[in-house]
């Protein structure tokens, strides 16, 4: 049995912008899966919006995920045979949003991420950065309160990564709580809070506003 996380105490406030850093295998994705109600901690408790979640039914957890939480992953996870607009609408699979409303909100979300002109494109015709923006539109079109991103810029070149980060900053400025796992120091530097996870333990890093950057996460990760 692997203990992926232990003795972790982490509190995320509404409107926070938090980066989770640390080497591979440290427990970062496990942490994000718990925050996203995809996994349950084997011991301890996770409170979502003040509500203990360990005893919630799968049905209730699925409802919270679908309405309150958005997910963005490194590999985009778009369906290749569906257009950008159809992919975004998949966010509404859960629940009873009428079709007209779904289309309207999916269009608005794609417009928001700057892809109004790509709505009818299949993912294969989009650049990596555009695909990730479709995934972000899918994650936010339901109006979640919490956005969880696991290495969202890991497959992107610098220009596309910057576009995604700019979008995250805007969403956070509008009140969306944001937790991003990243190996990229530039991504971590943009967050208001940084938490380092190493061997399953979490430590909040002090803010370093200027040149005194913490040690490179990528270098430490390469050793594991
Ligand atoms: N489903 C699983 N079953 C068993 N071990 C797992 C599972 N998922 C992750 N682990 C282990 O838990 C530890 C933390 O993994 P993970 O959270 O994916 O780390 P990170 O995202 O920081 O690379 C690793 O040792 C990993 O091998
Ligand atoms: Mg991971």
Closest CA to 107 of 80, 82, 81, 87: 87
In angstroms, rounded to a whole number, what is the distance separating the alpha carbons of residues 211 and 209?
Answer: 7
125-158 tens-digit pLDDT: 999 999 999 999 999 999 999 999 999 999 999 9
Lowest mean pLDDT across 10-19, 100-109, 152-161, 200-209: 200-209
For ligand 2, the distance from its centroid to the CA atom of residue 24, given in whole angstroms, is 6
pLDDT the model gives residue 214: 45
Q: Domain spans of the chain?
A: 5-82+148-223
Average pLDDT over residues 32-50: 92
Atom of ligand 1 nearest to the CA of 197: 22
Torsion of CA 106, 111, 116, 122, to 10 degrees: -40
Question: CATH top-level class for 5-82+148-223?
Answer: alpha beta
Atom of ligand 1 nearest to the CA of 150: 21
Helix, strand or coil, per DSSP, at residue 89 = helix
Average pLDDT over residues 173-195: 92
117 phi and psi, to 5 degrees?
Answer: -90, 5
In angstroms, rounded to a whole number, what is the distance separating the alpha carbons of residues 142 and 202?
Answer: 30
Q: How confident is the model at residue 13 (pLDDT cuts 50, 70, 90)?
A: very high
Work out the percent of the chain whose per-residue pLDDT is above 70: 92
Measured from the Cβ of residue 207, the count of other Cβ atoms closer than 10 Å reads 10
Closest CA to 162 of 176, 152, 171: 152
User: With a 6 A CB cut-off, is 1 part of the ligand 1 pocket?
Assistant: no
- Ligand closest to CA 74: 2
Atom of ligand 1 nearest to the CA of 32: 17
CB 110 within 8 A of CB 139: no
| Better-scored residue on pLDDT, 199 or 194 | 194
Say what the pTM is: 0.88
Closest CA to 190 of 215, 165, 156, 158: 165
At residue 102, does pLDDT exceed 70?
Answer: yes
Average pLDDT over residues 167-173: 95
């Amino acid at each position: 049995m692997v203990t992926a996380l232990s003795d972790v105490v982490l509190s995320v406030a509404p409107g926070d912008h938090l980066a989770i850093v640390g080497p591979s295998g440290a427990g970062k994705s496990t942490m994000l899966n718990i925050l996203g109600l995809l996994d349950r901690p084997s011991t301890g408790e996770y409170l979502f919006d003040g509500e203990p979640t360990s005893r919630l039914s799968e049905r209730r957890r699925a409802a919270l995920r679908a309405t309150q939480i958005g997910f963005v992953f490194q590999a985009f996870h778009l369906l290749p045979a569906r257009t950008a607009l159809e992919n975004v609408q998949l966010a509404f699979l859960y629940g009873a949003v009428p079709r007209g409303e779904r289309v309207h909100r999916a269009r608005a979300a794609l417009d928001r991420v700057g892809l109004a002109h790509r709505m009818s494109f299949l993912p294969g015709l989009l650049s990596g950065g555009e695909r990730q923006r479709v995934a972000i539109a899918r994650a936010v079109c339901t109006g979640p309160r919490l956005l969880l991103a696991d290495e969202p810029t890991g497959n992107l070149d610098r220009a596309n990564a910057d576009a995604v980060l700019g979008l995250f900053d805007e969403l956070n400025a509008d009140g969306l709580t944001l937790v991003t796992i990243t190996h990229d120091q530039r991504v971590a530097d943009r967050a208001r809070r940084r938490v380092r996870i190493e061997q399953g333990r979490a430590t909040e890093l002090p803010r370093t506003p200027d040149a005194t950057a913490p040690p490179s996460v990528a270098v430490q990760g390469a050793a594991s």
